Amino acid sequence: MQDVEKSSFSGKAELLKMLDGIEGEFSYEGTAYHLPVTYAITGRAIHTGDEARSAYEDTGGNPLVAAECITSFEQAMHGKEEDPYTGFIVDSVLRKLGYSLVDGSILGLALLAGTPPRPDTAAAICRELQEKYILTFLAGDVISSLVESGVKVGAEYRLVPLGKQPLMGIHFIDIIARVAMMFGGVAPGDTDRLLRYAQERARAFVIVFSGLDEPEIAVYDAFGLLGIPILSVDGYEGKEWVQVEAGDAVGKGLDLKGIRVTVTAIPIPMACSPAFEGKSIRKEEMFVEFGGGRSPAFELLRSRPAEEVTDGKVTVIGPEIEDIREGSAVPLAIIVDVYGKTMKKDYEPVLERRIHNFVNYGEGTWHVAQRDMVWVRISKEAVAHGVRIEHLGELIAAKFRIDFPDLLDAVQVTLITDEKKVLEAKEEAGLIYEERDERIRGMKDTDVDTFYSCTLCQTFAPNHVCIITPERPALCGAITWLDGKIAYEISPSGANQPVLKGDMIDEVRGEFEGVNRFVKKASHGEVDRCSLYSILEYPMTCCGCFECIAVMVPEVNGFLIVNREYTGETPSGMTFSTLAGTIGGGAQTPGFAGISKGYILSDRFLQAEGGIERLVWIPSLLKEELHDRLVQKLKERGIESLFDKIADEEKAVALEDLIEYLARVDHPALEMPPLI
């Protein structure tokens, strides 16, 4: 066993000695990038020994620079090694290689170096690399060992023999440096960007066998700077070199660099694309529906340990499509279990919200709302083409893997259509929703300087922009400020973007200069101003996903709230669906606002209009659902008696009845300053 730290230390001294022996002029042929590694790091073109030594010194003794200068000098002195060794690879060949990397026909790069314990060890590793679409470079005795065991080497076999000595592995790095400059827009000399590019985008790893000498160990150890892991099959220990069994080396390398053979086509009898996202399925086109108040339904995404998730597994518990009568409403639980090394519990709600998009991607499937409010339909046409409930699961599982390849390693979907089991599971889900909401409670808008946007619904409502603050969740109720922050972490170019508050324009209405600027841009210039805490002046736009609608009732000087589940009339003379049709689509409608249930309990709710005292009517079921938390909130504000003064449909549905009721109970809104 060689100690990497020690060998590397004495190796560096030897490299310096070798570097001292360089003289005369030298360069590589067939490249516009001089000595590419040195050029990328220092921005300097090296042609002489003195230049080489000064570059080495200026990089703080970078072994990669030393190895490159030595190799280039050797090749200039003694010519390239004979066939099959390629030595330095010219730009024109490299361009093709870069093409294949961008194009996806090569998924990554690997380097094998040293002397394998047995010829078939290297052969097995190479076979696996070929199967995984990895372009493999070879340096050292591994090449003769492969040839002896009958393995064909050469670029056409995706096994590129660089040279006899492991030191020739430096060409692996000059390739990565040139790919960064050619394709990654990295300017020569911009070391920071080079490192960032190599670490984030170069899908490369190295497998070493014994037989590296000390200078070579120093050079290979320096690969780590570029985020290239060194997997040691035998012979070395220490530093960040990863010890692996020969049989696990490739898997480990792919894993460390997040290289995956990706799924592209989803094997279901239905087209699946964002093109279908905006398409709805009307009642007469529908074969079966789930939820939407017609049957119990919910969706839940949970992070689970690796052993509990079988990737791609889809289970349907309860009746399948052939057991279902056309036109009926059936219970449904969509439970998505995921596992990923970097997956966090905090990511769950954000990923869960994606189920909405994925189901809508299906040509014959449709989805609205979230959590235990979901409403899903499958069209007659889709069922005629053979779509079953299990395909919903396959669609969801595949889309998660395609869209979050770096985050999720395994996705499994369980669909329950058995009513009893759905109801049982729904109770558990309720606890999880509650736990998630709890996490954000207590945070104030004044605690942060950044809000988050959500433009997920712009496919339906092109100019709609949700601004999510700690005290105002997205109007769909599914994304809190924390979720927005996490969603931005997961995908920085996604639908949730940070919004700097900027200067305060109006404290009471919650109008901020930064928010206005963002909203104007994200709404394509349609909306200039947005007040976060007012429904009367410049309210936020509404898409169509709101959990509830708050409506001004000028006759009683207050507001009523109606939730999606309530299908009856309201004192405004309109039902939820009529109201939704009026205010949705991305418009700003003073006097009306789409809101989440959570927002009703926020101190910021109706802040500009005088607060919760303005609330005059909510459906009884919603009142019951919010009961504990609402009573608590009112107690905090010393207006506990308000709870019973808020009317519901049992007290009043017609406006006259509401006026009479409010007068009878002496509702505070009646005494407040007129709204208009």
Enumerate binding residues for other proteins (CB under 8 A): 95-96, 98-105, 182-185, 273-275, 458-459, 462, 493, 521, 524-525
DSSP annotation string for 334-364: EEEEEE-TT--GGGHHHHHHHHHHHHHHBTT
Residue 98 or 594 having the CB closest to other proteins: 98
Q: Least distance from C-beta 403 to other proteins, angstroms?
A: 12
Yes or no: say if 259 and 108 are a contact pair by the CB < 8 Å rule: yes
The DSSP H or E segment spanning 182 is helix 170-183
Phi, psi of 493 (to 5 degrees): -110, 20
Residue 526 CB, shortest distance to other proteins, in Å, is 9
Residue 378's H or E segment, with its range, is strand 375-379
Question: ∠ CA 215-216-218 to the nearest 5 degrees?
Answer: 65
Q: Which is nearer to other proteins, 273 or 438 (CB)?
A: 273
The distance of closest approach from Cβ of residue 180 to other proteins in the complex, given in angstroms and rounded to an integer, is 11
Pick the closer one to other proteins by CB: 319 or 502. 502
Nearer to other proteins, 191 or 458 (CB): 458
Exposed e or buried b per residue across 470-499, where buried means at least 16 C-beta atoms within 10 angstroms of its C-beta: bbbbbbbbbbbbbbbbbbbebeeeebbbeb
Indicate the residue among 462 and 591 with the shorter CB distance to other proteins: 462
The minimum distance between CB 572 and other proteins, in angstroms, equals: 34
Q: What is the closest distance, in whole angstroms, from the C-beta atom of residue 406 to other proteins in the complex?
A: 13
How far apart are CB 108 and other proteins at their closest, in Å? 15
Q: Which of residues 17 and 521 has its CB atom nearest to other proteins in the complex?
A: 521
> Among residues 319 and 462, whose Cβ is nearest to other proteins?
462
Do the bridges between strand 548-553 and strand 558-563 make them parallel or antiparallel, or are there none, so unpaired? antiparallel
Comparison of 30 and 185: residue with beta carbon closer to other proteins: 185
Distance of alpha carbon 459 from alpha carbon 277, whole angstroms: 7
State the alpha helices, DSSP H only, in 523-646: 576-583, 597-600, 620-636, 642-645
**Single-letter amino acid code for the residue at 335:** I
8 Å CB contact between 67 and 167: yes
Could you tell me the smallest distance in angstroms from the CB atom of residue 22 to other proteins?
A: 33
Min dist. Cβ of residue 134 to other proteins (A): 16
Q: How far, CA to CA in Å, does 293 sit from each of 289, 368, 412, 624?
A: 10, 12, 27, 17
Task: Please report how close the Cβ of residue 524 comes to other proteins at its closest, in angstroms.
Answer: 5
Percent of the chain as helix, strand, coil, to the nearest 5: 45, 20, 35
**Cα three-residue angle 230-181-40, rounded to 5 degrees:** 70
Nearest to other proteins of 521, 635 (CB atom): 521
Pairing state of beta strands 204-208 and 108-113? parallel
What residues does 512 pair with on adjacent strands?
504
Q: How far is the CB of 277 from other proteins (least distance, A)?
A: 9
**Distance of alpha carbon 223 from alpha carbon 221, whole angstroms:** 5
- Beta strand residue intervals within 134-182, DSSP E: 134-139, 159-163
Select 402 or 670, whichever has its Cβ closest to other proteins. 402
Closest CA to 82 of 190, 172, 161, 151: 161
What residue has token string 């230390």? 9
Considering the complex, state which of residue 105 and residue 315 has its C-beta at the smaller distance from other proteins.
Answer: 105
Element (H, E) at 482: helix 481-490
CB closer to other proteins out of 154 and 274:
274
Q: Which residues sit opposite 333 in a β-bridge? A: 298, 416
Nearer to other proteins, 105 or 641 (CB): 105
Residue 95 beta carbon to other proteins: minimum distance, rounded to whole angstroms: 5
- Written as one letter, the residue type at 96 is K
Cα separation of 220 and 206, whole Å? 9
Least distance in angstroms from the C-beta of 407 to other proteins: 16
Q: Least separation, in Å, of the C-beta of 93 and other proteins?
A: 11
Sheet containing 466-468: order of strands:
466-468, 450-454, 498-500
Nearest approach, Cβ of residue 162 and other proteins (Å) = 22
Q: Which 3-state string (H, E, C) describes 266-282? A: CCCCCCECHHHCCCCCC
User: Closer CB to other proteins, residue 105 or residue 199?
Assistant: 105
